[in-house]
Amino acid sequence: MRIVIGAPANGAALRDTLKAYLGADHRVGEVVDVSRADSTYPAVSFSAGKAIAEGRADRGILVCGTGIGTAIAASKVPGVRAATAHELTTVRGSVENYDAQVLCMGQDVIAAAAAVSLVDLWLDLRHDPASSYATRLVEITDFEASTTQS
Protein backbone atom coordinates (compact mmCIF):
# COMPACT_ATOMS: atom_id res chain seq x y z
CA MET A 1 0.00 0.00 0.00
CA ARG A 2 1.22 3.48 -0.89
CA ILE A 3 0.52 6.04 1.83
CA VAL A 4 0.82 9.80 1.59
CA ILE A 5 1.20 11.63 4.88
CA GLY A 6 1.28 15.29 5.75
CA ALA A 7 0.86 17.95 8.39
CA PRO A 8 1.31 21.65 8.99
CA ALA A 9 3.52 22.67 11.93
CA ASN A 10 0.79 22.00 14.51
CA GLY A 11 0.64 18.34 13.52
CA ALA A 12 4.30 17.65 12.79
CA ALA A 13 5.14 15.70 15.95
CA LEU A 14 2.30 13.20 15.51
CA ARG A 15 2.97 13.03 11.76
CA ASP A 16 6.58 12.08 12.46
CA THR A 17 5.53 9.33 14.87
CA LEU A 18 3.02 7.91 12.39
CA LYS A 19 5.48 8.21 9.51
CA ALA A 20 8.07 6.19 11.42
CA TYR A 21 5.47 3.55 12.27
CA LEU A 22 4.27 3.29 8.67
CA GLY A 23 7.82 3.10 7.35
CA ALA A 24 8.48 0.02 9.47
CA ASP A 25 5.17 -1.73 8.69
CA HIS A 26 5.28 -4.62 6.19
CA ARG A 27 1.82 -3.69 4.83
CA VAL A 28 3.14 -0.35 3.60
CA GLY A 29 5.27 -0.31 0.46
CA GLU A 30 5.85 3.43 0.31
CA VAL A 31 5.33 6.46 2.53
CA VAL A 32 5.49 9.89 0.91
CA ASP A 33 5.50 12.97 3.13
CA VAL A 34 3.96 15.94 1.30
CA SER A 35 4.67 18.37 4.15
CA ARG A 36 6.96 21.36 3.90
CA ALA A 37 8.15 23.59 6.72
CA ASP A 38 5.78 26.36 5.61
CA SER A 39 2.79 24.09 4.78
CA THR A 40 -0.64 25.35 5.70
CA TYR A 41 -3.26 22.74 6.49
CA PRO A 42 -5.18 23.44 3.25
CA ALA A 43 -2.05 23.19 1.08
CA VAL A 44 -0.84 19.92 2.58
CA SER A 45 -4.37 18.49 2.45
CA PHE A 46 -4.82 19.42 -1.21
CA SER A 47 -1.43 17.89 -2.03
CA ALA A 48 -2.29 14.62 -0.30
CA GLY A 49 -5.75 14.53 -1.86
CA LYS A 50 -4.35 15.09 -5.35
CA ALA A 51 -1.84 12.26 -4.88
CA ILE A 52 -4.74 9.92 -4.11
CA ALA A 53 -7.03 11.25 -6.84
CA GLU A 54 -4.23 10.92 -9.41
CA GLY A 55 -3.42 7.34 -8.33
CA ARG A 56 0.02 8.12 -6.90
CA ALA A 57 -1.10 6.95 -3.45
CA ASP A 58 -3.70 4.51 -2.19
CA ARG A 59 -4.49 6.22 1.10
CA GLY A 60 -3.44 9.18 3.17
CA ILE A 61 -3.02 10.35 6.72
CA LEU A 62 -3.23 14.03 7.61
CA VAL A 63 -2.57 15.58 11.00
CA CYS A 64 -3.36 19.08 12.22
CA GLY A 65 -4.42 20.38 15.61
CA THR A 66 -7.87 18.78 15.61
CA GLY A 67 -7.99 16.79 12.37
CA ILE A 68 -11.02 18.78 11.27
CA GLY A 69 -9.37 21.36 9.01
CA THR A 70 -7.39 18.75 7.11
CA ALA A 71 -10.52 16.64 6.59
CA ILE A 72 -12.47 19.58 5.22
CA ALA A 73 -9.67 20.63 2.88
CA ALA A 74 -8.79 17.13 1.60
CA SER A 75 -12.46 16.42 0.88
CA LYS A 76 -12.50 19.37 -1.52
CA VAL A 77 -10.34 17.37 -3.95
CA PRO A 78 -12.78 15.68 -6.35
CA GLY A 79 -13.02 11.96 -5.71
CA VAL A 80 -11.43 12.12 -2.26
CA ARG A 81 -13.21 11.35 0.99
CA ALA A 82 -11.45 12.31 4.22
CA ALA A 83 -12.65 11.60 7.74
CA THR A 84 -11.56 12.77 11.16
CA ALA A 85 -11.39 9.80 13.50
CA HIS A 86 -9.92 9.39 16.97
CA GLU A 87 -11.42 6.15 18.22
CA LEU A 88 -12.27 2.65 17.04
CA THR A 89 -15.83 3.20 15.80
CA THR A 90 -15.08 6.24 13.66
CA VAL A 91 -11.85 4.80 12.23
CA ARG A 92 -13.62 1.56 11.31
CA GLY A 93 -16.67 3.34 9.92
CA SER A 94 -14.60 5.78 7.88
CA VAL A 95 -13.25 2.95 5.74
CA GLU A 96 -15.77 0.12 5.99
CA ASN A 97 -18.86 2.28 5.53
CA TYR A 98 -17.72 5.46 3.80
CA ASP A 99 -14.67 4.27 1.85
CA ALA A 100 -12.65 7.27 3.06
CA GLN A 101 -9.16 7.19 1.62
CA VAL A 102 -7.80 9.78 4.05
CA LEU A 103 -7.62 9.45 7.82
CA CYS A 104 -7.33 12.79 9.63
CA MET A 105 -6.24 13.12 13.24
CA GLY A 106 -5.61 15.95 15.65
CA GLN A 107 -2.30 16.19 17.45
CA ASP A 108 -4.05 18.14 20.21
CA VAL A 109 -6.77 15.49 20.53
CA ILE A 110 -5.11 12.06 20.57
CA ALA A 111 -2.02 10.63 22.22
CA ALA A 112 0.61 9.27 19.85
CA ALA A 113 0.32 5.70 21.19
CA ALA A 114 -3.44 5.69 20.64
CA ALA A 115 -3.02 7.12 17.13
CA VAL A 116 -0.51 4.39 16.24
CA SER A 117 -2.94 1.71 17.46
CA LEU A 118 -5.73 3.14 15.33
CA VAL A 119 -3.50 3.42 12.27
CA ASP A 120 -2.52 -0.23 12.79
CA LEU A 121 -6.21 -1.17 12.56
CA TRP A 122 -6.83 1.27 9.69
CA LEU A 123 -4.21 -0.43 7.52
CA ASP A 124 -6.24 -3.66 7.56
CA LEU A 125 -9.67 -2.10 6.99
CA ARG A 126 -11.41 -2.38 3.63
CA HIS A 127 -14.65 -0.97 2.26
CA ASP A 128 -17.38 -3.47 1.41
CA PRO A 129 -18.89 -2.33 -1.91
CA ALA A 130 -21.87 -4.63 -1.28
CA SER A 131 -22.76 -2.94 2.01
CA SER A 132 -25.88 -0.87 2.52
CA TYR A 133 -23.66 2.23 2.36
CA ALA A 134 -22.64 1.55 -1.25
CA THR A 135 -25.72 3.23 -2.74
CA ARG A 136 -25.18 6.28 -0.55
CA LEU A 137 -21.60 6.56 -1.79
CA VAL A 138 -22.88 6.44 -5.38
CA GLU A 139 -25.27 9.25 -4.49
CA ILE A 140 -22.37 11.33 -3.13
CA THR A 141 -20.16 10.56 -6.15
CA ASP A 142 -22.96 11.45 -8.57
CA PHE A 143 -23.58 14.76 -6.80
CA GLU A 144 -19.88 15.57 -6.82
CA ALA A 145 -19.66 14.81 -10.55
CA SER A 146 -22.67 17.00 -11.31
CA THR A 147 -21.19 19.97 -9.46
CA THR A 148 -17.70 19.70 -10.99
CA GLN A 149 -19.01 19.52 -14.56
CA SER A 150 -20.56 22.97 -14.52
> How do residues 17-64 score in pLDDT, each as one tens digit?
999 999 999 999 999 999 999 999 999 999 999 999 999 999 999 999
64 a catalytic residue: yes
Give the residue numbers spanning the domain of 52: 2-148
Strand partners, 32: 4
pLDDT in tens, 8-23: 999 999 999 999 999 9
Q: Which amino acid is at 144?
A: E
- The pTM assigned to this predicted structure is 0.94
Our count of domains for the chain comes to 1
Name the CA dihedral angle for 4, 10, 11, 17, rounded to a multiple of 10 degrees: 120
Q: How is residue 36 annotated by DSSP?
A: -
Query: Which one of 64, 100, 110, 119 is the catalytic residue?
Result: 64
The CATH number for 80's domain is 3.40.1400.10
Distances (CA, A) of 66 to 8, 37, 88: 12, 19, 17
Greatest alpha-carbon pair distance for the chain in Å reads 45
